[in-house]
Amino acid sequence: MRAFTTLNSIVMPLDRANVDTDAIIPKQFLKSIRRSGFGVFLFDEWRYLDRGEPDMDCTNRPLNPEFVLNKPEYKTAEILLSRENFGCGSSREHAPWALEDYGFRVIIAPSFADIFYNNCFKNGLLPIVLSAAEVEILFNNLTANCRVKIDLAAQTLNTDLGIEMKFAIDASRKHRLLNGLDDIALTLQQADEIKAYELERAKRAPWLFT
């Protein structure tokens, strides 16, 4: 998992509440568990004018010109700004996979669905919770050429316009993101202790290891 320290990026405004995981990555794409290749299908039903199918070539698919993801000024955005209850619906881990694979590193919203929120940290995404009033300020002031700097260590958000906001994050989740530690990497930090336990266990109960 990629470590997250700071990010300086433009922000893509997705001015919708209750964005569910089926909108983020529709159900027909859940057959794959590769964790990659989902970025081209992110927000598939809003992004394209036809129906997407797994493994299809998206190069010449008709785009919805009204959807914000297709607007050229937001092409390089790594920060997504949305409304309350982002990531609601089913608990598919494919949703953060698709967001990360597309290129987003940060999602800002007043609230997130619990399972989606937890899955973000497991996949290197930083979900930032701000108050509804603070999110409204960002929607009203940010433009396509305005950049936002996220500093995870300081837990701050700063814009080119001089707006500064603080955000809260659990200390253990912050540590994992700063150091790029997913569940497996976190476990492997205890590899010596695990091996020592297994050797001792084998001595005490050898029949379990034959």
- Note whether 39 and 106 are same-domain residues: yes
Same domain, 146 and 74: yes
Q: Tell the residue number behind the tokens 């290749």, with chain if given.
A: 37
Residue type, 197: Y
Asked whether residue 1 is assigned to any structural domain, the reply reads: no
Query: Does 150 share its domain with 46?
Result: yes
Examine residue 55 and state whether it is found in any structural domain, yes or no: yes
168 and 68 both lie in a single domain: yes
Query: Residue 201 sits in which domain range?
Result: 184-210
Q: Are residues 147 and 77 in the same domain?
A: yes
Total-model pTM:
0.88
> Total structural domains in the chain?
2
Q: Supply the CATH number for residue 90's domain.
A: 3.20.19.10
169, pLDDT greater than 90: yes
49-71 pLDDT per residue, tens? 999 999 899 999 999 999 999 99
My answer on whether 68 and 104 are in the same domain is: yes
**Distance separating alpha carbons of residues 201 and 63, to the nearest angstrom:** 59
- Distance, CA of 71 to CA of 147 (rounded, Å): 17
Q: Output the pLDDT for position 52.
A: 94
Average pLDDT of every residue of the chain? 93
Is residue 185 very low, low, confident or very high in pLDDT (cuts 50, 70, 90)? low
